[in-house]
Amino acid sequence: MMSDNLVKYNIAVVGATGQVGEALFEILHERQFPIKNIFALASSKSLGKIITCGERTIQISELSKFDFAQVDIAFFSAGGEVSSKYVPKATAANCVVIDNTSTFRYESNIPLIVPEVNSSEIKHFKKTNIIANPNCSTIQMVVALKPIHETYGIKRVNVSTYQSVSGSGRSGIEELAAQTSSLLNAKGIEKNIYPEQIAFNCIPQIDHFMDNGYTKEEMKMVWETKKILGDESIQVNATTVRVPVFFGHSEAISIELKTKFQLGDVISLLEKSPGLIVSPENKEGQYPTAAVTAAASDAVYVGRIRRDISTDSGLNLWVVADNVRKGAALNSIQIAEILIAKYLSNC
């Protein structure tokens, strides 16, 4: 949490009417981010809309007409095309951008940050004025992997995800709600967002297919885990699945460690690691779930911790988190808090 700070910052939220935008305003207020002026930016179709951030009411401004010279830090969450076009304009105006899209994540001179894992990399923002926020599924996984990797070394990660429809923005939520209601009323469904029916179903495709048969979402987890943990040798195999849950992503993760471990030691390690809340018991109902435990909260929850009986040095985890908060808005604001505390406060 931020304490009162004499230095206050001019902030812009690009994608202010979206889900991540809404969460950004909420969390900026909750954590008392030191704001001087705050601008809410969206497309021309949102002109006239009003956004609230605590006591402040903010009129939506049109991104295409906005002058970023009035801003110190801009949070971008309006899709890749918008970031490609407008982030360079913002950085040219000397504004630091924290970008939620995948546009800049894989550029070697741009830091990709999860504060609990690699906050020391933030300093490299000076090369481009851009800091990339990772994919939501990667963020929650690496918060749990980091202490294990640091202590035992990780050879390989095999992960299956169960991702909520809010990961596709407001339109994903609308599609699940509409299809569910139609099917319960014995009517036909419309498919606008997902390639298959999402209501009462699971879809083993998130983002488009790549030449190697994996989807882009799966490869994001591979590329980003290596970059954030700073270790190209970690092998990652991901299967990402969209499920009919509104908020919160779940992940079943099998990890092959480089060294032998005691299960009790791993549990103690996770319990004292930042950002994690651990359910140590494997008992009925004593595990975190996306909709009930994770949605609307800030932590990454870990449960179902057990040895993998199929291999000597294998460990299984079940990890859930709120994809809109820790997976996007909260992580971005945690980055901004470090940015102002360590790098901008003397400017």
- Structural contact between residues 137 and 251, judged by C-beta atoms closer than 8 angstroms: yes
- Kindly report the backbone phi and psi dihedral angles of residue 178, in degrees, each rounded to the nearest multiple of 5, phi listed first: -65, -45
Q: Which of 16, 176, 245, 302 binds ligand NAP (CB under 6 A)?
A: 16
Residue located via tokens 């000597």:
312
Q: Catalytic residue at 53?
A: no
- From the list 167-175, 186-194, 230-238, 309-317, the region that binds ligand NAP by CB under 6 A is 167-175
**CA nearest to 248, candidates 287, 186, 298, 198:** 298
**Candidates 42-50, 174-182, 230-238, 281-289; binding stretch for ligand NAP (CB under 6 A):** 42-50
* 42 part of the interface to ligand NAP, by CB under 6 A: yes
Q: How far is CA 221 from CA 98, 161, 215, 240, in A?
A: 19, 10, 10, 9
Task: State yes or no: is 249 an active-site residue.
Answer: yes
Q: Which of 11, 15, 72, 315 binds ligand NAP (CB under 6 A)?
A: 15
Torsion, Cα 316 321 327 332, to 10 degrees, reads -110
**43 near ligand NAP (CB under 6 A):** yes
Q: Verify binding: residue 323, ligand NAP, rule CB under 6 A.
A: yes
Q: CB of 314: closest distance to ligand NAP in angstroms?
A: 29
- Rounded to the nearest angstrom, the gap between the alpha carbon of residue 198 and the centroid of all alpha carbons in its chain is 22
Closest CB to ligand NAP among residues 9, 25: 25
Number of other residues whose CB lies within 10 A of the CB of residue 152: 19
Q: Is 82 in the site for ligand NAP (CB under 6 A)?
A: yes
- 113 versus 148: smaller Cβ distance to ligand NAP: 113
Contacts of 39 (CB under 8 A, 6+ apart): 10, 11, 12, 13, 58, 61, 66, 70, 71
Q: Could you tell me if 123 and 109 are in contact, meaning their C-beta atoms sit under 8 angstroms apart?
A: no
What are the φ and ψ backbone dihedral angles of 10, each rounded to 5 degrees? -90, 125
| 152/162 with CB nearer ligand NAP | 162
Residue (99 or 256) nearer to ligand NAP, CB: 99
Among the candidate windows 38-46, 211-219, 251-259, 332-340, which touches ligand NAP by CB under 6 A?
38-46
- Positions in the binding site for ligand NAP (CB under 6 A): 15-21, 42-43, 45-46, 63, 77-79, 82, 100-101, 136, 166-167, 169-171, 323-324, 327-328
* Residues with catalytic roles: 136, 249
